[in-house]
Amino acid sequence: MLLFCQGCGNGLIVEEGQHCCCFACNTCLYLHSIPGEVTNGKYPKLEEVDDLLGGAAARENVDSAAEPCPRCEHPRAFCMQLQTRAADEPMTTFHECCNARCGHCWRD
């Protein structure tokens, strides 16, 4: 079953909690509860990707901003701007939570 976020249109993933499971959006905070019990789950092998900001050593010289994390509400995030579209379009700002246990990434 494939569901899409009603807020931003991205595909939803399954998040397992202590008492229940739900479909969650990686981009925004949208949650859709799963009625009943999940008995069988298939997890595809994830492709290894490079760290957004280049790993822990690269974070020594990366700027951080007072941007709260939408997942864990940590008050600061590393930020980096990249040109992802045409030159006449504005740059995209990527954020990564400064909380090492969270590490949530999002963009503006």
Domains and CATH numbers, the chain: 1-37 (2.20.25), 57-107 (2.20.25.10)
Q: What does DSSP assign to residue 60?
A: G
pLDDT of 95 > 60? The answer is: yes
pTM for this model (two decimals): 0.47
Distance CA 29, CA 10 (A): 12
Q: Which stretches within 1-108 are classed as H helix?
A: none
Relative to beta strand 92-97, strand 105-107 is antiparallel
Pick from 53-57, 78-82, 84-88, 101-105: least confident: 53-57
Report the pLDDT value the prediction gives residue 59, as an integer from 0 to 100. 64
Q: How confident is the model at residue 9 (pLDDT cuts 50, 70, 90)?
A: confident
